[in-house]
Structure 1
Amino acid sequence: MAQVSKEFRIGALVLVGLILLVLGVNYMKGFNPFAASNTYYAHYEEIDGLAVSNPVLVNGFKVGQVTQVKFSESGNGSLIVSFDIEESALQLNRDTKAKITSNDLFGTKAIDLIYGTSEELAQPGDTLLSELEVGIAEAVRIELMPLKTKTDQLIDGVDDILENLKAVFEADATLGLPTAFESIQRTVESLEQTSLKLDAMVAENRSTLQNIFKNVDGITSNLKNHNDDLSNVMENFSEISDSLAASNFAQTIHRANSALTQVDEITRKINNGEGSLGQLVNSDSLHNGLVATNLELQYLINDLYLNPWRYVRVSVFGKKQEKSLSNKELKKLRDIIDEELDKRSSDDL
């Protein structure tokens, strides 16, 4: 049997040591070359410090680690991240998101797998959806942005105040300060005097004010005590309004308007002299005729009184004899004439 040289044994021992060292270092990083794993990919515009051997988590539990980070072949600066999942029983949906998150307060990054709703499963070697969580620094910057804006506004306001104060205390501006202070003092004194007058007025009219408040209290008490009566009054008004609404008030108004229209038409015809009444009102001929007839009748009556034998003659035995009428006959004749005149007047109207 050939004897192994001392140099060969030393070399083999060094080689085995190196292999064990590499395996130990990778194992300390979480990489287990002897465990079965499935590789997946994700495409990112930026990875915010994600590095090889960073953990891959599902619901906070480590199921794998990042194995490779490289630039994409498009040359636009985007990155392709490869990660292995050692849990062979773990199944991922097609729309599962590989979200880069902060794993601790020191900013160590990790990939958090967030399940989707797709029923189709992702296969090893597929590229999953990607998402980047806002980092702590970015979140702090976003939270502090409103404070920074308000601080800038406050500084601008302080600058304006300082400029105004500088303008006030300049040599030319300070000349008007004594007058301004005197005006302010006079204003304050006037306000004090007004306050004293108000106090005196209130003291003088205290009893009057008390009576006013008592009257107001009495009025409110009466309103409260007669609340039921007021309710009845309101109900009565409501019933009246309902009755008016039910009585077809609009139709009544329409009829009244129609009647007024007819009256206006009649008045217009009278004014225009249409009809007997219009001629009587607007024409003087009928009036003049009545006056003339009245005069003639008066003449006739007077003639009857003076010469009755012109109209009434009495003949006895064929001989004409003149005989005067008695007072009773004259009265009867007068009544007959008056009755005939009244009858003719009513016929004319």
Structure 2
Amino acid sequence: MKITREVKTAVLVLSAIALLIFGYYFLKGNNLLDGSRTFYAVYDDVEGLARSSKVTINGLQVGKVTDIQIIDSRGNLAITFTVENDFEFSKNSIARIYGGGIIGGKSLAIVPTYEQGQMAKDGDTLNSEIEEGLLELVNDRLTPLQKKIENVIVSVDSLVNGFNEILDPNTRQNLRNSFASLDRTMASLENTSGTLNGILTDNKPKLDRTFTNLDEMSYNFNSFSDSLAEVNLAGIVNDFEEIAADLKNVAAKANSTDGTVGKLLNDPKVYDNLDRATKQLEQLLQDVKLNPKRYVHISVFGKRNKDYKPPKDSLK
């Protein structure tokens, strides 16, 4: 049977249309010749998940995300993804968005469950879940640190304001004056140090002689110490002890009434006799002074002196 030109043209056009449709879906990430299963999951936020993001099971890529659409007025998103192998998992398995970092994007992982029950089939909607990525974890860790840094900044700002209040123009001027005074003091100390150096330089010979004399005095003192060490201190101490014992004996005898000294010091009769004799002697001297003719008298006839004056306090 001869194929006409019109049939060939029709077959060519249909083939071109089929190739165009196949290429369109292929470019969109859908392979019309692939027998993979299609699943759905609903999220309120896809965390940056994009079309053509990979779908994994236990870390193995088994498909990709084919479509993301807004499904209601609240902004909930429905994700369409494919699974390209025949791995069986329960309908209660979880479609978890994970990953995401500074460079890499988000991915979708199927967390399978193997409990007995209905298995997932093409077109089912799986439970959704979002795992915190690197940026979220860093943000969670940095948020408390940010608050602390803000508190520190506020404290530093308060401290700076306090310093600004303290360091008013008058205080700053006083500080400048203090530093200027300190500078002058240091200059004076430097001049004083130079003067002391000059004095020490001028008097160096005298200082040398002084230190020489001190050395000689130290040597003489050492010699005196050696001589003193050679003295029989034990004998001198014994002599002093004997003298002290003799003095003690003398004091004991003086305190007792046995000896002459003790009687003179301790017997009241001796004191009374001495006191009476002293008074009699005093009266005798007074009588001699008042009546000298009574004791020195030359008379031819032996007449008594009629002008006798008795001494005061005469003994009765």
Q: Which TM-score bucket, shorter chain as reference? A: 0.3 to 0.5
TM normalised by structure 1 equals 0.42
Q: Higher Cα Rg: structure 1 or 2?
A: 2
Q: Using CA pairs below 8 Å that are at least 6 residues apart, which structure has the higher relative contact order?
A: 2
